[in-house]
Amino acid sequence: MAYLMLSGVESTKLTSGIAPSGLGSVGLNFHKRGFFKKNVVSYGNKYITPRCSISSLKSASQPGFVQYKKKAFLFFRFLATIVYDHVINPCHWTEDMRDEALEAADLYNHKMRVVDVEGGTAFTTLGIVKHVDARNVTILDQSPHQLATAMAQLKEPLKECKIIKGDDLPFPTDYVDRYISAGSIEFWADPQRGIKEAYRVLKIGGKACLIGPVYPSFWLSRFFADMWMVFPKEEEYIEWFKKAGFKDINLKRIGPKWYRGVRRHGLIMGCSVTGIKPLSGDSPLKLGPKAADVKKPVNPLLFLSRFLLGTIAATYYVLVSIYMWIKDKLVPKGMPI
């Protein structure tokens, strides 16, 4: 038997099975077949079947609203910069969750060189510099609006952090000790490519820590998740890391304490996935050329309609968090909600 590293009140037993190949890029046929069956995933050198695994008719390779540079750029310009720190974080990414998720990154040495990818307004960075000297930490983000917010709000612990605008990693191979990215994979058009790049920039023995959402099982939450952004399944995270070449892969579940471990609605920040780079050099995974989507023209009416739907989806997930908070207050402790 193998056990997935979990946090909170849930625990999931994993049993041996046969793994499908390429979960990160599977087509619709696999998801149709797997909708009424347990998905099987790879974990380390074993193949396992999570009994609580959630299947979907949508692969994470199918883009949601904010999975392209221009759309993500505008999303953060008009909405996320305003509401993330004041609305999304208190509902879905609390300080306790952040510190718990970063435990998996194993930040045991203050001299480590760390990159916080898509660091945004530096909320996660504040957790990193509790363990690592700020002068050894780099914040990278493509949104000048989020970085401006970060710079305007920089508190004393972050004064020495380096700040880089961009979404490509401007680092040589075998450069950093820790790669950390929280709340960004949901905006990636190609998650597998991003995790492959994380492997490249790490030193041998370095660790990647990717903190992100998990896919819902409740039908209405699935609907809003699919229209908005990537909500990967747990087994997809593990498969992406495995294909990129990482070893000792672990997935740690996180969530707001008032959810009491409930995951049926999905979570914007639902797991911390880590893997260790076993060999120096680039990832053994070979991929084709990167799609240059940033130059694609945007239909104004289509964009506006998708933007409104994306805003509705974001609002839904705020309301779900409030709903779960109310249930936590009303339902006696120890009882399922």
pLDDT digits (tens, 9 = 90+) for 59-117: 444 444 444 445 444 554 445 555 555 666 678 899 999 999 999 999 999 999 999 99
**What is this structure's pTM?**
0.75
Is residue 96 within 8 Å of 166, Cβ to Cβ?
no
Four-CA torsion 244, 116, 95, 121, nearest 10 degrees: -130
Query: Residue 306: its pLDDT value, please?
Result: 77
Task: Please count the other Cβ atoms lying within 10 Å of the Cβ belonging to residue 247.
Answer: 13
Which residue numbers in the chain have pLDDT < 50? Answer: 1-69, 71-73, 76-78
| Domains identified in the chain and CATH numbers | 69-293 (3.40.50.150)
Cβ-contact 101, 254 below 8 angstroms: yes
Those residues with Cβ within 8 angstroms of residue 164's Cβ, 6 or more apart along the chain or in another chain: 138, 139, 140, 141, 170
What's the rounded Cα separation, in Å, for the pair 257 and 328?
9
Give kind and range of the element (H or E) at residue 163: strand 162-165
Specify the pLDDT at position 268.
92
Give the per-residue pLDDT at 215: 96
> On the CB side of 19, how many CA atoms lie within 13 Å of its CA?
22
pLDDT recorded at residue 61:
42
How much is the pLDDT for 150?
66
